[in-house]
């Protein structure tokens, strides 16, 4: 876990992780991401996933939808299986922002066709103020980007926009139109960012200067 102090260098958070077992306790990849304790006691995360659009394009996907993947740091794809992971938000996380961008991607036949991140393979949408569909442009049918507005961290019916997860939640791409590659010479993809936070753990012995144990009779 990175902790920001004044003057420290800040790097992009890495969402790629794997399942881990320590002392017989297993935690999922979603629970092992790199976060930052930007506010004491609260750990913030930026999970970025990708759906690659192959040269042949992607067929309509509304139920089931396409799965966003956290890409392996190894960018090669020719000599071994890729170890990409599903983009999943961990249990008890609080989501406060969703953003999506099309890279070298277009629809096939019409303008204003929605393409959005959803929270179930069947196409279940985020709550209303976290829904961020990007729509295909007029004439070119290309997709650009969309993002939810940040209205604070409060849960309320009048502007709060956070979503609490009760289980690890995989993120999917829903699109009611087939997706195509604009420029065949470049990689095409849809990128999604989910911003969320988790309560920090209680401090451990490294957080304080515990005195050394002194044996009786020593001076």
Residue 173 sits in a domain of what CATH number? 2.60.120
Cα 76-28-174 angle, rounded to 5 deg: 65
What distances in angstroms separate CA 150 from CA 23, 90, 147, 195, one per listed residue?
A: 39, 21, 9, 10
Could you tell me the pLDDT band of residue 156, with boundaries at 50, 70 and 90? low
Taking a C-beta distance cutoff of 8 angstroms, is the pair 134, 146 a contact? yes
Position 181 in a domain: yes
Instruction: Give the 3-state secondary structure of residue 92.
Output: coil
Share of the chain above pLDDT 70, in %: 87
- Cα(17)–Cα(169) distance, rounded to whole angstroms? 15
Structural domain boundaries, residue 62: 46-73+81-201
* Cβ-based neighbours of 41, under 8 Å, separated by 6 or more: 199, 200
Residue 113 lies in a domain: yes
> Token pair for residue 24?
């017989």
Q: How many CB atoms lie within 10 A of CB 111?
A: 13
Q: Could you give the percent of the chain with pLDDT greater than 90? A: 44
Lowest-confidence segment of 57-66, 73-82, 189-198 by average pLDDT: 73-82
Q: Which of 75-79, 183-187, 203-207 has the highest mean pLDDT?
A: 183-187
Report the alpha-carbon distance of residue 123 to residue 65 in Å, rounded: 6
Q: Which two tokens stand for residue 213?
A: 């144990």
Number of domains in the chain: 1
Q: Tell me what the mean pLDDT of segment 176-183 comes to.
A: 92
Q: How far is CA 8 from CA 5, 38, 192, in A?
A: 6, 12, 27
What mean pLDDT do residues 43-69 have? 93
Q: What is the pLDDT of residues 81-126, one digit of tens each?
A: 778 899 999 999 999 999 999 999 998 877 788 899 999 999 999 9
Arithmetic mean of pLDDT, 130-147: 89
Distances (CA, A) of 177 to 18, 58, 95, 135, 162: 33, 9, 27, 11, 29
pLDDT of residue 6: 45
Quick one: pLDDT band at residue 136, thresholds 50, 70, 90? confident
Residue 171 has pLDDT above 90, yes or no: yes
d(CA 30, CA 91): 9
The reply to whether 156 falls in a domain is yes
pTM above 0.85, yes or no: no
Tell whether the model's pLDDT for residue 155 goes beyond 90.
no
Residues 57-74, mean pLDDT to the nearest whole number = 91
């Amino acid at each position: 876990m990175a902790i920001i102090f004044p003057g420290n260098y800040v790097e992009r958070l890495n969402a790629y992780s794997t399942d881990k077992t320590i002392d017989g306790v297993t935690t999922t990849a979603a629970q092992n991401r790199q976060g930052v304790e930007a506010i004491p006691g609260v750990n913030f995360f930026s999970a970025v996933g990708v759906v690659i659009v192959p040269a042949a394009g992607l067929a309509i996907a509304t139920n089931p939808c396409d799965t966003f993947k956290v890409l392996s740091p190894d960018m090669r794809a020719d000599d071994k299986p890729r170890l990409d992971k599903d983009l999943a938000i961990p249990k008890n996380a609080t989501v406060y922002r969703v953003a999506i961008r099309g890279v070298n991607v277009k629809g096939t036949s019409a303008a204003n066709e929605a393409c959005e991140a959803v929270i179930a393979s069947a196409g279940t949408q985020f709550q209303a103020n976290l829904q961020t569909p990007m729509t295909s442009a007029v004439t070119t049918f290309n997709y650009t980007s969309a993002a939810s507005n940040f209205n604070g961290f409060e849960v309320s019916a009048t502007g709060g926009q956070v979503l609490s997860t009760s289980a690890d939640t995989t993120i999917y791409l829903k699109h009611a139109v087939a997706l195509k590659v604009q420029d065949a010479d470049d990689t095409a993809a849809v990128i999604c960012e989910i911003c969320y936070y988790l309560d920090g753990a209680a401090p451990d012995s490294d957080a304080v200067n515990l005195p050394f144990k002194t044996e009786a009779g020593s001076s």
